[in-house]
Chains A and B, each alone.
Chain A
């Protein structure tokens, strides 16, 4: 990351396979990851399901992509925030996710959002 790098946040707010937004969002994250910017991801609402371990999409007939989240570290993308209430409301804990996450309150995520140059919702 250079001194001119800008803060860009991706907010995953939808469940992984009900719509294509999270999947195409992830494709964009991987491209943006090559630009040496200060990238962070926030998982809120049903978006927290994107990171859930042991997903099996074979019976859906939809290509799964949860494993791709494990490659984000190769792009130096390691600011991964999960909204505490969204996680707890869905009976999940940080141990249920495929990557290491920072569990934050909505107020904390809001504060981080306020520092961003751009925010992309998916």
Chain B
């Protein structure tokens, strides 16, 4: 099955991003396709490369970047990102900033759109 994933809450404060990540890795392990991951609302904060959590905890932004390196398209909403100070200068590698039209495209290209947060 082809899944698209929307994440609407920020890292650490909410479990949404963790649940999304666990869903994505489990789906990929089962052979499903992830057509895209989209960060919206506070979800854009997942893309901040300046994130530097204690070393005995998971590094959420690094985890997303590793997923992006495997070829998963990770898109950060430009409007929501600008509000929250996420720009190219602090954008983690292996993700990209683009518009909400990308979220519509992902939705139309997927069999299922799964949302986390909100």
Contact = CB atoms under 8 A, between A and B. Distances in A.
Interface of A: 6, 8, 14, 20-21, 24, 27-28, 31-32, 34-35, 37, 117-122
13 contacts: A6-B108, A8-B107, A21-B41, A24-B79, A27-B79, A27-B100, A28-B100, A31-B99, A32-B100, A32-B104, A120-B115, A121-B118, A122-B118
Interface in B72-109: 79-80, 99-101, 103-104, 107-108
Contacts of B118: 14, 21, 121-122
- Interface size on B, as a range, is 10 to 19
B74 to A, nearest CB: 18
B108 A37 contact: yes
Describe B's contact surface by its main secondary structure: mixed
Given A24-B80, A31-B100, A118 B40 contact: no
Nearest to B102: A31
Nearest to B108: A6
Contact of B107 (A21, A24, A27, A117): A117
Query: Which of A34, A118, A121 has the largest number of chain B CB atoms within 10 A?
Result: A118
Given A28-B103, A32-B104, A118 B113 contact: yes
A58 B104 CA distance: 33
B8 interface: yes
A85 B33 CA distance: 39
B6 interface: yes
Contacts of B6: 120
A28 B78 CA distance: 12
Nearest to B113: A118
Interface string B33-49: 00000001100000000
A58 B90 CA distance: 34
Interface string B12-47: 000000000000000000000000000011000000
